[in-house]
Amino acid sequence: MNLASPRVVNIKDLRRLARARLPDAVFDYLDGAADDEVTLKDSERAYQEVIFKPRFAVATPSCDLGVTVLGQKLDLPFILAPIGYSRLMHPRGELAASRAAGRNGTAYILSTMSGHRIEDVKAESAGPTFYQLYLAGGRGAAEAAIARAKAAGYKALFVTIDTPVAGNRERDVRNGMKPLMGTNPFAKIPYLPNILAHPRWLAAFLADGMSRPFPNIVVPGSGPLAAVDVASALESAQVSWTDFKWIRESWSGPIVTKGVMTVDDARRSVDAGAQGLVVSTHAGRQLDGVAGSLRVLPGIVEAVGDKTEVLFDGGIRRGSDVVKAIGLGAKAVLLGRAYAYGMAAAGDAGIERAIEIFRADIIRTLKLLGCSSISQVDSSYVTTRPGFRVD
Ligand SMILES: Cc1cc2nc3c(=O)[nH]c(=O)nc-3n(C[C@H](O)[C@H](O)[C@H](O)COP(=O)(O)O)c2cc1C
């Protein structure tokens, strides 16, 4: 597939190609969010309320994009976020994301809801890999996954705290995600015409062996958890701050809490012994009506930025968005849909193209700002429109 410019100029172009290749059920799972998707829209809109303050006539012959995150030196200021069911979007899924991250000198965070094995994903990457933990399948399954991630050489554990239940993702309900992932063949019939209308995706899905159990959620005594939709998988996966005690005992490396949206939770995260946190709305897929994550970032950085590494995600579609988040205090950011659209459109090549777009965008933005490295970007390069911030 031709992904070069001018066919693919930005992430919207990759989204368009993903939409064409995927059946509605899979595209909407990737693209959609909870309820009226207010938080998703606000997450994207918030960048328009951050204004750059450039310094011109400054020599910027080269641009260093390197950052250090959780003790790992990265060549890029963005990491690839955990995206559950990546293998449903493309057979290479998590393997492709891990490989692309490593090849480009950055890190990949593997979701618990992966279709590929922890060990195989690690083997694809020359760079650091991190493991994202849900308690799906219970504590025994989580402890087994943590032990495997440790043995495989994963460098940090990201514990997602914003999924006491799955959010109300109405696109998934309408598209029949539950029956499609279930075992009753008759319940799938109403959704088959749309799937048959996407033969490229269907051929790849069939060749890949179709839905299979989650290879990293191995319930002691009963084996890998069967393939189910995300709402079912997250039933009884609730994590609480008291769980951090046993998680801390099972994992010796850095722990990061993912899904912090208030200063209170940021302080609890520090008290629970986490070395980092991710300010995140879970892509607007959980509690609709929380603010776009960029709005709460400055308050959280002010409160705990000197005690913990503050990472950030949500709505990042351009390199300039990355620079804005770093200007507001993030140490580095996570890309979610931005690379997943590329993965869904064209596997490895699609992720490479997304990363290439971001790298070029960030370098251009830094030069236009008068910065010769990403580490130079601070709050003096950005300001926000009145009413931007939510505390
Ligand atoms: C399709 C999809 C699946 C996701 N799966 C997970 C997951 O398994 N675990 C997790 O912690 N976050 C998950 N997230 C949230 C992402 O890790 C990240 O926080 C979010 O995508 C960032 O927002 P953005 O997509 O607007 O960049 C998922 C997001 C999407 C869009």
Segment 103-151, tens digit of pLDDT? 999 999 999 999 999 999 999 999 999 999 999 999 999 999 999 999 9
Q: Residue 212 pLDDT more than 90? A: no
Nearest CA to ligand 1 atom 10: 82
22 lines ligand 1 (CB under 6 A): no
Q: Residue 211 pLDDT more than 90? A: no
C-beta of residue 33 within 8 angstroms of C-beta of residue 284 = yes
Q: Residue 180 pLDDT more than 90? A: yes
30 lines ligand 1 (CB under 6 A): yes
For the CA of 316, the closest atom of ligand 1 is 27
Q: Which residues contact 328 (CB under 8 A, 6 or more apart)?
A: 50, 294, 297, 298, 301, 379, 382, 384
Q: In the Cβ-directed half-sphere of 323, how many Cα atoms lie within 13 Å?
A: 34
Among residues 72, 96, 76, 71, which one has the least CA distance to residue 86? 96
Among residues 322, 323, 308, 325, which one has the least CA distance to residue 70? 308
Binned at pLDDT 50, 70 and 90, residue 156 comes out as: very high
For the CA of 109, the closest atom of ligand 1 is 17
Q: Residue 1 pLDDT more than 90? A: no
110 lines ligand 1 (CB under 6 A): no
Q: In the Cβ-directed half-sphere of 5, how many Cα atoms lie within 13 Å?
A: 7
Place of tokens 């998934």: 172
Q: Residue 382 pLDDT more than 90? A: yes
Q: Residue 297 pLDDT more than 90? A: yes
Q: In the Cβ-directed half-sphere of 261, how many Cα atoms lie within 13 Å?
A: 22
φ and ψ at 23, to 5 degrees? -65, 160
**Most ligand 1 atoms within 8 A of CB, residue of 175, 285, 311, 312 to mutate:** 285
Q: Model pTM?
A: 0.98
To the query of whether residue 282 is one of the catalytic residues in this protein, the response is yes
Tell me how far CA of residue 110 lies from CA of 45, 80, 118, 200, 336, in angstroms. 28, 9, 8, 26, 12
Q: What is the pLDDT of residues 298-356, one digit of tens each?
A: 999 999 999 999 999 999 999 999 999 999 999 999 999 999 999 999 999 999 999 99
pLDDT of amino acid 60: 86
337 lines ligand 1 (CB under 6 A): yes
Q: Mean pLDDT throughout 228-254?
A: 94
CA torsion through residues 134, 137, 139, 144, sign = negative
Nearest CA to ligand 1 atom 11: 160
